[in-house]
Amino acid sequence: MNVIQKYGGTSLESIEKIRAVAKHIASIRKEGDGIVIVASAMGKTTDELIALANEVGKEVPKRELDALLATGEQKTVALLAIALQNLGVPAVSMTGFQSGFITTDHHSKARIKEINTERTEQYLKEGKVVVLTGFQGISEEGDITTLGRGGSDTTAVAIAAQMGWDCEIYTDVDAIFTTDPKINPNARKLDRITYEELMELASTGAAVMETRSVELAKKYNVKLYIGRSLEGNIRKGTYVMNDSIYIEEMPVTGISISDDCSIYSLRGLENDGVAIANLFQLLADLHINVDMISKQTYENNKCTISFSCTDEQASDLDKAIENHELLREILVEKQPNLSILSLVGVGMATATGVASKVFSILAKEGIQYYQITTSEISISVTVNRDEKIKAVIALCEAFGL
Amino acid sequence: MNVIQKYGGTSLESIEKIRAVAKHIASIRKEGDGIVIVASAMGKTTDELIALANEVGKEVPKRELDALLATGEQKTVALLAIALQNLGVPAVSMTGFQSGFITTDHHSKARIKEINTERTEQYLKEGKVVVLTGFQGISEEGDITTLGRGGSDTTAVAIAAQMGWDCEIYTDVDAIFTTDPKINPNARKLDRITYEELMELASTGAAVMETRSVELAKKYNVKLYIGRSLEGNIRKGTYVMNDSIYIEEMPVTGISISDDCSIYSLRGLENDGVAIANLFQLLADLHINVDMISKQTYENNKCTISFSCTDEQASDLDKAIENHELLREILVEKQPNLSILSLVGVGMATATGVASKVFSILAKEGIQYYQITTSEISISVTVNRDEKIKAVIALCEAFGL
């Protein structure tokens, strides 16, 4: 089978682990298979290089930072190619410029423009495993660029899309679970999940893959596999594919949990566009990134605006409240230390009664909840952080997770 | 002034030192100067990467090793460019492929075929200091290559030749001295030296620069400066230039000292081409790299062959002597623990009586000497290692060094 395999930094953090990955590749490789490996930098290398750059000077120009960071993956691919050759597997490493990853020139967050796979295909024809640097590319001007957070996943999915191959993401989690097994030990492993569900889970806290890479996979219909690197050909991870391929009988596929949430409620605002617009302009000026927003109107043409933000931003906001007339004038109520629970499932788009079931379960358990937001395939509720475990376990049980 | 400056690994071994080098560059830079920096890998990075590769597997394919080693210089140039920019000096880093160093595909010992300086010149036009990776290039097929020992010096001299600029080699010695100051505390610093003299000194032990880089500088008449990196524009090092530029009034410019020498004398060999050819074929088969050779014939058509080799090779040879008929049959005499003293000077080509002066000084001091070899600009004698300091001091005094 032809396949793109991506190995993350944790899977490659030591020489021992690099050799284990090489062994894994050697064990699954059959005559005639086309295998392209995408590798991240070893362990914490990228963080260490960033620290080094910050030690050199206050200002770190992004062009130079990209050139510096690119050495991380370059080191891994060379070592992995050496490890493979020592197991008798013909292998060849390539950096971003060698493997034809042409990107925009937006250093530290470049976008892939095109991939010239000519050299890769030539090496594959020669029966070689091709080991590519993740995360990096080259601009049309010949500058080294990096793709930003989750960049190696993007590299892997992009080349899979280009080649029309499946893409296996080997990471430090066994699979995608119905919810965080650390919160609910009864969490079930998901054999399959849709792109949309994975994106909803990722955007609400379960960061197995960056949304950007999943979006790319969805767009080009790249079949993904997410799991832990193993000896042999046993796949215990999760496949990500199009929802059309299978019908999920259950409306909820998983629950993601995000702890970093505070809610503010501003009561007694004038219910006209101006006051509300001024409020959000002020929040934008304070660089407060608002997540969930809800508005309720009541008598006297007044309204209440509630919104959530991260704990760090909440502390910025608390300081600002003292200094800003607009915020001082209105009644501000803060609900700190909340958790957001997001129930995600493509089945939700067609199933009815999911919301009411959620509310009745929480009520039955005596769990108070605050802000609620919904999307086509998700419903998110905020609960007090000290009640989240109780809530997750109850919801998992009710929805068969 | 337009200049190429090369900084070695010791000068760049820490963030602190990288910042010091940046400060040095900033301090000497004047409006309108064209400055190209060639940087080595930080400190022992290259050795550490080689060790890492050897840890991964017994066989280290050279293509992959080159890709791995190239990360060393790439890291330094990015950090140095960051340091320069933080001092307000516009700077830009480039790797071997970006700076157009096209080489042969002989991995680990590639030769530079051509340098496309287009991007470098564009950056210089924009008033930027250009920071290039030493030691590395790219083959015409797009593979990363390295230039072998002393490669960063070669990079610097090659680009200096291409641009027609002077080349400053900043290293961990203050200058070139008449002899090793550790041996003779009265050794004098040389303000100037010729390419040939530097090559003779290098090839006989004073390894400030690899012969290959000096040869290249001579061929393209690149004016070299060798010294320690300093604050400000004070140059206390040594200039290397063509002998036509200045007339050295003294026949001897310097004395290099090499400790690693044993001499073997084989007596009673048949004085015909066959026996001697067989002997050297045998030495070649044993991978004994013979340095100085001398032959003396005497009565009965017999001769004596003497040759020198390193101490390590001497121990190989000692083992071999027991097993080889040819060597067992002839009388072998070994003179271990010798030092080679090489008196070097372009003046020697025209001056007479240098050799006799050397011998009379050694005789006067009661110092025994063995093998003697001469080239146009050098004379080398071997002495017992425990007498070398005495010999060096006496010779320095006699020749005004």
* Rounded Cα distance, A141 and A136, in Å: 15
pLDDT, tens digit (0-9, with 9 covering 90-100), for A258-295: 888 888 888 777 777 677 777 777 777 877 777 777 77
B118 min Cα distance to partner chain A (Å) = 12
- On whether the pTM is more than 0.80, the answer is no
Residues lower than pLDDT 70 in chain B: 202-207, 229-234, 243-250, 273, 326, 331, 349-352
* Rounded Cα distance, B335 and B341, in Å: 16
- Give the pLDDT confidence score for residue A207 in this predicted structure: 66
- Give the pLDDT confidence score for residue B127 in this predicted structure: 95
B95 in contact with A, Cβ within 8 Å:
yes
B266 in contact with A, Cβ within 8 Å:
no
A1 min Cα distance to partner chain B (Å) = 26
- Give the pLDDT confidence score for residue B245 in this predicted structure: 47
Contact: B53, A18; criterion CB under 8 Å: no
A211 in contact with B, Cβ within 8 Å:
no
Contact: A57, B119; criterion CB under 8 Å: no
Q: Amino acid identity of A260?
A: D
B389 in contact with A, Cβ within 8 Å:
no
| Mean pLDDT computed over A237-256 | 73
Q: Report the largest interatomic distance among the alpha carbons of chain A, rounded to a whole angstrom.
A: 80
**In terms of pLDDT, which residue wins out, A93 or B31?**
A93
State which fold the B3-172 domain adopts. Carbamate kinase (3.40.1160)
**In terms of pLDDT, which residue wins out, B340 or A230?**
B340
String of DSSP letters for A10-33: GGGSSHHHHHHHHHHHHHH--TT-
pLDDT, tens digit (0-9, with 9 covering 90-100), for A36-87: 999 999 999 999 999 999 999 999 999 999 999 999 999 999 999 999 999 9
- Give the pLDDT confidence score for residue A90 in this predicted structure: 97
Length of chain A, in residues: 401
B72 min Cα distance to partner chain A (Å) = 8
| Mean pLDDT computed over A5-22 | 94
A15 in contact with B, Cβ within 8 Å:
yes
A25 in contact with B, Cβ within 8 Å:
no
Find the range with the poorest average confidence among A117-121, A249-253, B228-232. Answer: B228-232
Q: Are A45 and A2 in contact (CB under 8 A)?
A: no
In the block, which residue shows the tokens 């109850």?
A394
A-chain CB neighbours of B19 within 8 Å are: 56-57
A-chain CB neighbours of B83 within 8 Å are: 56-57
User: Within its chain, how far is the Cα of B205 from the centroid?
Assistant: 8
User: If we measure between CA atoms, which residue out of B197, B207, B201, B240 comes closest to residue B221?
Assistant: B240
User: If we measure between CA atoms, which residue out of A70, A58, A53, A69 comes closest to residue B80?
Assistant: A53
Contact: A58, B18; criterion CB under 8 Å: no
String of DSSP letters for B106-129: -TTS--EEEE--HHHHHHHHTTPE
- The set of residues, in sequence order, having a beta carbon less than 8 Å from that of B346 and lying 6+ positions away, is B194, B196, B197, B243, B248, B253, B377
Q: What are phi and psi of B361, to 5 degrees?
A: -65, -45
pLDDT, tens digit (0-9, with 9 covering 90-100), for A297-322: 777 777 888 888 888 788 888 877 77
The chain-wide mean pLDDT, for chain A, equals 86
A329 min Cα distance to partner chain B (Å) = 45
Length of chain B, in residues: 401
Contact: B79, A144; criterion CB under 8 Å: no
Interface TM-score (ipTM) > 0.90:
no
Closest Cα in chain B to A81: B64
pLDDT, tens digit (0-9, with 9 covering 90-100), for A198-208: 888 766 555 67
- Give the pLDDT confidence score for residue A87 in this predicted structure: 96
pLDDT at A195 over 50: yes
**DSSP secondary-structure letter at B268?**
E
pLDDT at A330 over 70: yes
For domain B255-398, which CATH number applies: 3.30.70.100, 3.30.2130.10, 3.30.1550.10, 2.60.120.10?
Answer: 3.30.2130.10
A115 min Cα distance to partner chain B (Å) = 16
Q: Are A334 and A262 in contact (CB under 8 A)?
A: yes
CA dihedral A5, A6, A11, A14 (to 10 degrees): 100
To probe the interface with A, which of B79, B133, B146 has the most A CB atoms within 10 Å? B79
Domain ranges of chain A: 3-172, 255-398
A238 in contact with B, Cβ within 8 Å:
no
A276 in contact with B, Cβ within 8 Å:
no
To probe the interface with B, which of A56, A126, A144 has the most B CB atoms within 10 Å? A56
The two domains B3-172 and B255-398 share their CATH topology (first three levels equal): no
- Give the pLDDT confidence score for residue A311 in this predicted structure: 81
Strands lying side by side in the sheet with B378-384: B293-298, B302-309, B254-270, B331-344, B378-384, B369-375
- Give the pLDDT confidence score for residue B349 in this predicted structure: 67
Of A60, A78, A83, the CB nearest to B82: A60
